[in-house]
Amino acid sequence: MKVNNKQYRTVWIEGNDVCMIEQNLLPFEFHIYHAKTYKDTCGAIKTMIVRGAGALGTTAGYAMAQASMEAPENKYSEFISQAKSEIESARPTAQNLFYAVERVYNAACISKEKAVAEAKKVADEDALASRKIGEYGNTLIKDGFNILTHCNAGWLAFVDYGTALSPIYTAHHTGKKIFVYVDETRPRSQGARLTAWELKNENVPHAIIPDNAGAFLMSQGKVNMIITGADRIARNGDTANKIGTLEKAIVAKHFRIPFYVAAPTSTIDLNCPMGKDIPIEHRSEEEVLYQTGLDKNGNLVEILVCSPGSNAINPAFDVTPAEFITGIITEKGIISASEKDITSLITDVTQNNK
């Protein structure tokens, strides 16, 4: 994606530094964060300087490569093994993180050079998969469609293109007239801050809506389809995504509106039988109690927006059962959210990669 007439990826590596767009400052400031050590990169993952399934995976892969470069020769294996555990504990729900770390760790066991090369390969594959998801997803979008999406599964959530937004970008670039309803996505407002910023940057017609307005719009016949991303897809098709996704899926099924999940095959976890087995991250209550924005003087400030003294509960994800999902848009094509189709797809991918 171009920002200020310059082409960017969401995350990349320069020498030993992992560089990433500082997403906590968007849409008010565009800043590149440089993580100089693997611990710095872990910190960026934990504090959501970088977030989104593919971007987390790629960043974690780069962190593993950094650890390999930092490891002392006399304690190399011990160092990278400990680093692997630290990186994997940074965000527990996103399957892409574990997928990338495992690949780069196995390469690091051979050499530092192979670790860096494998991390870059993970990044390139993520960008290509997202582009292919856009091509397949575009076949589902008709001219004049109104599409609802939740959270941010766009360019910022992956290395490039995104998943849920990739079909939207492809449809827009091919001349289809579309409109996007952007869930604000409380508590961190990734929809209102990130998805809306992306769509505006690409001149895609859109409007930000309160999270609890989706059902009303669907009841009025104003939504033709829903596309969301995914942080982990279980073997049976149950899917974890940003909190609030489940509500949209339930309402969509009631009003017979197609509900699609867009995700690369790296998000599928065959070792996770069903949704109840997906670990759900619980984040700080301060994300609910406080909001960040610009004051009247253009200064970035954090303010309390809830009743002083009250506590908050902040689950970061929920799980949508497979029965509510119309289909899964992958880089290999569109499949049903069934164990048979998912297992067959991953088997084919694994065999082709051998």
What's the pLDDT band for 2 if we cut at 50, 70, 90?
confident
Active site residue: 231, 238, 269, 318, which one? 231
Instruction: Give the residue from 103, 130, 157 where a domain finishes.
Output: 130
pLDDT at position 19: 98
Same domain, 58 and 190: no
349: domain CATH number is 3.40.50.10470
Catalytic site residue 231?
Answer: yes
- Phi, psi for residue 55 in degrees, rounded to 5: -65, -40
Contact status, residue 165 vs residue 198, Cβ threshold 8 Å: yes
Domain shared by 188 and 223, yes or no = yes
**Structural domains counted in the chain:** 2
Burial of 70 (0-12, 13-18, 19+ CB in 10 A): middle
Helix axes 95-108, 53-70, angle to 10 degrees: 30
Domain end marker among 73, 107, 130: 130
Contacts of 142 (CB under 8 A, 6+ apart): 176, 224
Global pTM reads 0.94
Do 199 and 292 have their domain in common?
Answer: yes
pLDDT at 230 over 70: yes
Q: Could you tell me the pLDDT band of residue 354, with boundaries at 50, 70 and 90?
A: low
Looking at the structure, tell me whether residues 157 and 118 fall in a common domain: no
Residues 192 and 263 in one domain: yes
What domain range includes position 7? 2-130
